[in-house]
Amino acid sequence: MTAVLQVRGLSHSFGALTAVSGLDLDVGEGEIVSLIGPNGSGKTTTINVISGVYRPSAGRVVLDGSDLTGHAPDVVAGRGVMRTFQNIRLFPQMSVLDNVLVGAHGRLPVGPLGAVLRTPRVRRAEREAMEEAEELMGIFGERLRPRRHDPVVSLSYANRRRTEICRALMGHPRVLLLDEPAAGMNPSETLELAGQVRAIRGRGVNVLLIEHHMQMVMDISDRVVVMDHGLKIAEGRPAQVAADARVIEAYLGRRAAAAAE
């Protein structure tokens, strides 16, 4: 079975600093793959390259057999890769619902003329998008729904992250890139989120997750890829990776790795 998202030999550097170097990464059908590593190991850069924010200096990104390398972010989104942001990038002056609806931009057949005339087709498309936004907010129970018309700046960090996830899901992604979705969430919210990410996978969305909460990573990942200094240092099932000496060394230092053996 070929992977839905294939990353091959991906490299990206900022001037003299190589942030990602020769990374291979697969996300298969029905998989939750986690990308972990110490701060500055190149995880977010990897997501930025996959989503088209950065153009890679080498390597390829392939989705369902078609090449995405070097395409603009809006093209990448249209092909089925949607993302969230580590530092939360919602549209601050728009409501929760409108934020979520922007996620459907690429697939709504509504142009400037159609919007003015409100043809039956436009009406239906907008109504269906609205219903779907409601349904997606339901993934998070009653966290977002009562706040649908509130400006996003009034939301808690956790709810902002949830809104970002809904917004990305509105684009019907093949692959969802989650960049530290649990950051700023308390332990019980993080536990909730783990179940919710599984539910998202259950909807047929394949997930690439960057996360620092190890418990969550170990619980929900099918595979874990570990990066350090831009290089992939380990890959495998969560238990395998947790026992890997190089991973322990990257996180805790050489002495801790020796002690673990």
Contact residues toward other proteins (CB under 8 A) are 51-53, 72-74, 76-78, 82-83, 85, 88-94, 98, 101-108, 110-112, 115-118, 122, 126, 138-143, 151-160, 167-168, 171, 186, 188-189, 192, 195-196, 198-199, 202
Cβ at position 94, least distance to other proteins in Å: 6
Query: Which of helix, strand or coil describes residue 181?
Result: coil
Q: Are residues 32 and 220 in contact, defined by beta-carbon separation less than 8 angstroms?
A: yes
Tell me how far apart the alpha carbons of residues 42 and 117 are, in angstroms, rounded to a whole number: 48
Residue 126 Cβ, how far from other proteins at the closest point, in Å? 7
Nearer to other proteins, 21 or 206 (CB): 206
First-residue to last-residue Cα distance in the chain: 36
User: Is the Cβ of residue 38 or residue 151 nearer to other proteins in the bound state?
Assistant: 151
The partner residues of 176 in beta bridges, in order of sequence, read 82, 207
Question: Smallest distance from the beta carbon of 154 to other proteins, in angstroms?
Answer: 5
d(CA 49, CA 114): 34
Q: State which amino acid sits at residue 121.
A: R
Question: Please, what is the minimum distance in Å from the beta carbon of residue 8 to other proteins?
Answer: 22
Decide whether 10 or 139 has the Cβ nearer to other proteins: 139
Q: How many C-beta neighbours within 10 Å does residue 127 have?
A: 10
User: Pairing relation of β-strands 231-236 and 206-210?
Assistant: unpaired
CB 15 → other proteins: shortest distance, Å? Answer: 21
Comparison of 154 and 215: residue with beta carbon closer to other proteins? 154
**How many other β-carbons are positioned within 10 Å of the β-carbon of residue 59?**
18
- Cβ proximity to other proteins, 41 vs 190, nearer residue: 190
